[in-house]
Amino acid sequence: MSQLDPAIAPSRTAEAPHTPGAPALRRTLKLRHIVFLGLAYMAPLAVFDTFGIVADVTHGHVPLAYLVVLVAVLITALSYSRMVKVFPMAGSAYTYTREAINPHLGFLVGWAATLDYLLLPMINALLSAIYMSAAFPAVPSWVWILSTIVICTVLNLIGVQIAAKVNVILVIIQVVVAVAFVGLTIKNIVDGANGASFSMTPFFAPGLDVPAIGAGAAILALSFLGFDAVSTLAEEAEKPRRDIPRAILIIVAVAGVFFVGVTYVMQVLFPDVATVGNIVGASPEIAKYIGGAAFQAVFIGGYMVAVLGCGITQQMSAARLLYAMGRDGALPKRFFGSLNRAGVPAANVLLIAALACSAVFLDLGRAASLINFGAFVAFIFVNLAVIFTYIRFVKERGWRVAIGYLVLPGLGVVINVALWFSLEPSAMIVGGVWVAIGLAYLLWRTRFFRVSPPPLHGPTDL
């Protein structure tokens, strides 16, 4: 058995809790599976979804906005990597906050994150309808929505390993389409199309609007949510303390280079996205511009592959977050904390599918504005959890330990709070209402904190 981080002095060691003889999450995922699941969750081609909107908000500085959010994500990724070594259990930010800070606060963080996890599959299903309806307008949109949900649900019920293997193929297809897109864009720039030429203008220009860059970065945080999602798979990884941290950093690094590179060439070719004609749907229009109608069809097909891969992983992560909260008694255990014979939280998977069906009535703009509310709450409290872990469990002192446990996560808190307040006011209001509902449920569940929460598990040496 591997040794715990020498800086940590555990009060006790414990494996992820489960009732003896009861079904448990199965350790079947290798590093490559986890990395591809995280990349699939982010959907590499999703970079094209927000390009037009963020280019308009930042006045042509999408790559710079990506660099800003990348700093926040890298610091937070280091915090996730540190916490998953100490608490290699399902639940992600909920578990880390619960174990390191306070069980009740952990519930509220998990509740806030649940808003994002529940909304993402709905938005994903809606996006499938938007893209496919453009290609096949005669087919009702609900057909595409339900088809997407059914495929994702079936693959999740079969088991996590099958879903992981399918996602490897889906991510590879997305990368091929993205590479083709970048190659054609570069060719157009070299040929002088649209008067374009390579420069540093997408990163810096006189009169740079800093608040606008912050607002754009706040929107783009959605692109990096995959690294957070893989931390929910800690109990299904063969070597969680080694592979989950590695996967988190690999995912963030690969995604950061990819997002900055793709948006740079797009921004160089179209410094003013308004010239495309359709800001929200700018990317398909750019695909047609650089490669004609044939490549536009390939691009849309690749995007549908992204939708499928993203939907599988989003549903998987949401189901496991609910499972962790149900197993701990934060949600009704009989429903949320149960597993089927395949070791899958099937009830949660089906619940997420049922909620995703509301995409038939969903307005994309309103739902999308809420996604990053819970994400930034999770990011903030994971960084705070590292600080509290230092205070409660770390016995070793010194400047190197202080940098890892205090300075970097402290900087992560500051940056993520700033980006959180850059969100749309409507997202802050609705997100605040959601948290208030969670607080009311918590007060009822604990009889105003008179009922003791489930016992903590403490740091583990798994």
Token pair of 56, please? 């308009």
Cβ atoms within 10 Å of 436's Cβ, excluding its own? 11
Cβ neighbors of 192 (< 8 A, separation 6 or more) are none
Banded model confidence at residue 2, pLDDT cuts 50, 70, 90: very low
Inside any domain, residue 15 = no
Identity of the residue numbered 324: A
Q: How confident is the model at residue 90 (pLDDT cuts 50, 70, 90)?
A: low
Cβ-based burial of 253 (10 A; exposed 0-12, middle 13-18, buried ≥19): middle
Tell me whether residue 7 is in a domain. no
Structure confidence at residue 136 (pLDDT): 77
C-alpha neighbours within 13 Å on the C-beta side of residue 389: 34
Which residue would you say has higher pLDDT here, 330 or 124? 124
Residue 17 lies in a domain: no
pLDDT beyond 90 at 35:
no
Q: Which residue has the higher pLDDT, 330 or 58?
A: 58
**What is the reported pLDDT for 435?**
92
pLDDT of residue 264: 96
Mean pLDDT over residues 298-320, rounded? 80
Query: What pLDDT sits at residue 454?
Result: 58
Whether the pTM exceeds 0.85: the reply is: no
pLDDT score, position 4 = 41
What pLDDT does residue 266 have? 94
In a domain, 461, yes or no: no
Residue 4: inside a domain: no
Percent residues over pLDDT 90 in the chain: 26
Q: Indicate the average pLDDT of the chain.
A: 82
Query: Are the C-beta atoms of 338 and 345 separated by less than 8 Å?
Result: yes
Is residue 20 assigned to a domain?
no
* Contacts for 79 with CB less than 8 Å, ≥ 6 apart: 382, 383, 385, 386, 408, 409, 412
- Residue 234 within a domain: yes
Q: pLDDT tens-digit profile of 60-89?
A: 999 999 999 999 899 999 998 888 888 877
Q: In this predicted structure, what is the pLDDT of residue 416?
A: 92
pLDDT of residue 305: 77
In contact, 72 and 221? CB cutoff 8 Å: yes
pLDDT digits 0-9 by tens, 231-274: 777 778 888 888 888 998 999 999 999 999 999 999 999 998 88
Q: Which residues contact 8 (CB under 8 A, 6 or more apart)?
A: 86, 389, 393, 394, 395, 459
Range of the domain at 320: 25-444
Give residue 362's identity as a one-letter amino acid code: L
Question: Which of these ranges, 161-170, 333-342, 439-448, has the smallest mean pLDDT?
Answer: 161-170
Q: Tell me how many domains the chain contains.
A: 1
Q: Where are the alpha helices (DSSP H) in 191-281?
A: 210-220, 225-230, 240-269
| CATH number of the domain within which 172 lies | 1.20.1740.10
- pLDDT of amino acid 361: 76
Q: How far apart are CA 284 and CA 307, in angstroms?
A: 15
Which pLDDT score, from 0 to 100, does residue 22 have? 53
With respect to residue 233, please indicate whether it lies within any of the assigned structural domains: yes
